[in-house]
Structure 1
Amino acid sequence: MPIEFTHVPGKIHPADAGFFYDFVETATKLSLIGDAGFRKIVVDDQAGLLTNMDIAAQALDRTSSLEVVLTHWAGVIEPTVAARQLAALDAKSGGRLSLRMLSEPLSDDDAETRPAGHTAVWQRIDEYLVLLKRLWSNDRPFDHEGAFYSIKDGYVPRKGPHGADVTIRMGGQSGTALKVAGRHADIFELTPGSLDEIRQMMQRVRSAAAEHGRAGKLRFALPVRIRPEHNASGHKSVDVSGPPAQIALSLFPYAGLGIHEFMIAGVDRPREIATAGRETIALLRNSLARREADVPQPGAFAPRTVREARAR
C-alpha cells in the first residue's frame, strides 16, 4: 500500500492567529499542500469542536483534492446532532471527511450523575461511535437508552456517500483505549517513540482489533515533527531534522514497520511545504516503491535488519 502524508498545521509564530483564520491565504496553502503530495490535512483548533466543524466545512469548500481530518470529541454535542452535521459535511465534500476521535475527561456535570474516570471516558466514546455508525446506516428511526446517551426516534435522513464507513481515527495507550480502538478505528494514530516501542504498540493494537475480526483492516499513522536542525530533540521522539534526504532516511525504518501514513508537523511556510513535497516526500515514496518492487509478495517488505535512525 502506498505511503500517505498528512499535513498537521501549526503556527509559524506564537502570536499568529493560526493556519485557518485567513481563508484567502489558506486556500493558497491548501493548494500548495495538495501539490506537494500531502493527501490529508488535520483540523484541530484550540477553540474546540464547534469551531473545528466550521473550519472543516470551509476547508472542504476550498480544496477539491485534500481529505479533511476533523478532530472530534464525544460529549460536546448529542450523537444525533453530530451525525447529521457530519453526514452533511461528508456528502458536501464527496466523501473527503474523516473523523479523528480524541478522549476528553467527563465534565463536572457529567461526573455528578455518571461514573467518572478513564474507563468511563472510553466507554462514552464507544457508545458515541456505536450510535454515530447506527445513525449513518439505519433505514428507520430507532430508540436507544445507554449509560451515557438516550435517543428517541434517532434518524439521519441524508446519509453521507460512505454511510457508516466514514473513516474513524483513534489513538491511546491504555488497555481500555485499545479495546475501543480495536472495535472502531480504521486508522490508529501512534504515540511517538523508538522503533521497538512503536512495534510493540502496533502488535497490541492489532491484537485488540483481532478480537473484532478487524486486524487486517487497521492502518497505522505516525506523528512526525520536522524541526530546525539546531532544535531537534532526543532520538526516542519522532522528531527529525536536517536536509530533506536525511529526513526521508530517518523515516524509512518506521515505514518498514508497516506504518501507512506520516502525520507531518513543522512545515507551515510555503517554502517549507514545497521543499517537503519536492524532496522529502518524493524521495521516501520512490525509495519505498523501489523496495516493494524487489519483494516477491506484493505489499510486503523484504526481510532485512531495520536500524533506528536517530534524529539529528
Structure 2
Amino acid sequence: MPIEFTHVPGKTHPADPTVPFFYDFAETATKLSLIEDIGFQKIVVDDPAGLLTNMDIAARALDRTCSLEAVLTHWAGVIEPTVAARQLAALDAKSGGRLSLRILSEPLNDDDAEARPVGHTIVWQRIDEYLVLLKRLWSNDRPFDHEGAFYSVRGGYVPRKGPQGAGMTIRMGGQSGTALRVAGRHADVFELAPGSRGEIRRLMERVRSAAAEHGRAGKLRFALPVRIRSEDNASCQKALEIAGPPAQIALSLLAYAALGIQEFMIVGIDRPREIAMAGREVIALLRNSLTRREADVPQPRAFASRAIPRAS
C-alpha cells in the first residue's frame, strides 16, 4: 500500500514565531525544493490572510517545484463559484494538474445571517451546493443556469478547463453526521481528526458508510494529521503528537498505516534540518518497513498445470 506524505507548514520565523511559513518566499523556495526532494508529495497552503492569498502562494509554490502538489485551502462562499472555478482551473492548468482543493467549513457572513439563521447544517448545505457547481463548471461543454438555495448562476461556463477537469482532488474533514454526508458525496481524500487508533478506526467506518450511500466507499483515501515533536520535548506530548528517535516515530506511524491510512500530514517540521531528518530517516524507514511487511505476506501458491491424460 503506497503511503504519501504531506507537509503542513507552521510558523518558523526566528524573530517572530507568528510569521507564517511563506512570509519570505526566497527562503521558502529553498525549503520547497528540500521538501520535494526529500520525499514529500504535497504541501498544504493555508495562510491566515485567506483564499486570495492562498491562491497566490499556491501559484508561486507550483512555479518553483516540479512534482509537488499544492493542497489549496478554500472556503465555500468567499468568492462566487463561477469566479472560483475559472481561477482554480487556470491554476490547475498552469501547474499541469498539481492542484487539489481542501474545503473547510466557514460560518456564513453577516449579510447572509440577516437573510437566514446561521447554523452548522446550513454551512454544510452551502458547501454541498458550492461543490456541485464547481464540478459542473469544470465539466460542462455548454453554459447552464442554476437556481439554488445559496447560489444563482446564469450562463455558467468555464471555457479553459484544467487538465483534471471535474476530477480535481477534493479534500474534506469533519465528524458530525451532516459533515460526513457531504464529505461522503464529494471527498476524494478525507482528513481524519487526531485520536487513538480506536477513535480513528470508528471515524473511518462512519466515513465509508456515508460514502457508500453514493457508491463511493472504495474511492476514498484517508489522511491523518500527525505532529512530530523533537526528542527533547517528548515529555510534553499531546494527543497524536509523536516524539522520539526516527525509528520510534516510523514505528508509531506504521501502526496507523495498518488501519488503512494512506497519507500522513506532517506538522511541526519547518526548519531545513527537521525537514531533512523527516525525509531521510522517518519517511525512508516507514516506507522500507511497509515494503518488508508486504513482502512477508504469503502469496497465493502457483501450481504448474498438468495435462490430464485422455481416457483410452
Q: TM-score, normalised by structure 2?
A: 0.93
- Which of 213, 219, 222 is the aligned partner of 1:211? 213
CA contact (8 A) 2:101 2:171 kept: yes
Which amino acid in 2 is paired with 1:7? Answer: H
Structure 2 SS opposite 1:18? coil
Aligned residues: 298
| Partner of residue 47, structure 2 | 45
| Partner of residue 64, structure 2 | 62
| Partner of residue 307, structure 2 | none
Which amino acid in 2 is paired with 1:250? Answer: S
Q: Deviations over 1:13-64 (max 9, x none)?
A: 5435321122211111111001110000000001111111111111111111
Displacement after TM superposition at 1:237 (Å): 1.6
Q: Provide runs of 4+ in structure 1 moved above 4 Å.
A: 232-236
| Partner of residue 6, structure 2 | 6
Equivalent positions of 1:70-85 (< 5 A) are 70-85=72-87
- Which of 182, 185, 204 is the aligned partner of 2:184? 182
Which amino acid in 1 is paired with 2:172? Answer: M
Structure 1 SS opposite 2:128? helix
- 2:42, 2:188 → 1: CA distance? 15
Displacement after TM superposition at 1:292 (Å): 1.4
CA contact (8 A) 2:46 2:54 kept: yes
- 1:250, 1:244 → 2: CA distance? 10
Displacement after TM superposition at 1:99 (Å): 0.2
Q: Deviations over 1:133-169 (max 9, x none)?
A: 0000000000000000000000000000010000000
- Which of 221, 224, 228 is the aligned partner of 1:222? 224
CA contact (8 A) 1:192 1:236 kept: no
| Partner of residue 194, structure 2 | 192
- 1:165, 1:296 → 2: CA distance? 36
| Partner of residue 103, structure 1 | 105
Over the matched positions of the two proteins, sequence identity in percent amounts to: 83
CA contact (8 A) 2:12 2:19 kept: no
- 1:92, 1:114 → 2: CA distance? 39
Equivalent positions of 1:264-283 (< 5 A) are 264-283=266-285
Which amino acid in 1 is paired with 2:25? Answer: F
Displacement after TM superposition at 1:232 (Å): 4.2
- 1:168, 1:66 → 2: CA distance? 17
- 2:238, 2:286 → 1: CA distance? 21
Bigger mean CA deviation after superposition, 202-211 or 23-32: 23-32
Displacement after TM superposition at 1:234 (Å): 7.6
- 1:234, 1:272 → 2: CA distance? 18
Q: TM-score, normalised by structure 1?
A: 0.93
- 1:65, 1:164 → 2: CA distance? 21
| Partner of residue 92, structure 1 | 94
| Partner of residue 256, structure 1 | 258
- 1:201, 1:20 → 2: CA distance? 32
Displacement after TM superposition at 1:231 (Å): 3.2
- 1:16, 1:272 → 2: CA distance? 19
- Which of 143, 150, 153 is the aligned partner of 1:151? 153
User: Cα RMSD over matched residues?
Assistant: 1.5
Which amino acid in 1 is paired with 2:199? Answer: E
Displacement after TM superposition at 1:87 (Å): 0.2
- 2:144, 2:196 → 1: CA distance? 46
Structure 2 SS opposite 1:208? helix
Which amino acid in 2 is paired with 1:167? Answer: T
- 2:265, 2:24 → 1: CA distance? 23
Q: Deviations over 1:171-195 (max 9, x none)?
A: 0000000000000000000000000
| Partner of residue 124, structure 1 | 126
Gaps of 5+ in 1: 299-312
- Which of 171, 180, 202 is the aligned partner of 1:169? 171
Question: Structure 1 272/228 Cα, relative in aligned 2: closer, same or farther at 3 Å?
Answer: same
Which amino acid in 2 is paired with 1:277? Answer: G
CA contact (8 A) 1:193 1:236 kept: no
Which amino acid in 1 is paired with 2:163? Answer: P
Displacement after TM superposition at 1:285 (Å): 0.6
Bigger mean CA deviation after superposition, 180-189 or 47-56: 47-56
CA contact (8 A) 1:141 1:153 kept: yes
Question: Structure 1 85/38 Cα, relative in aligned 2: closer, same or farther at 3 Å?
Answer: same
Bigger mean CA deviation after superposition, 223-232 or 169-178: 223-232
| Partner of residue 307, structure 1 | none
- Which of 239, 242, 245 is the aligned partner of 2:241? 239
- 1:164, 1:295 → 2: CA distance? 37
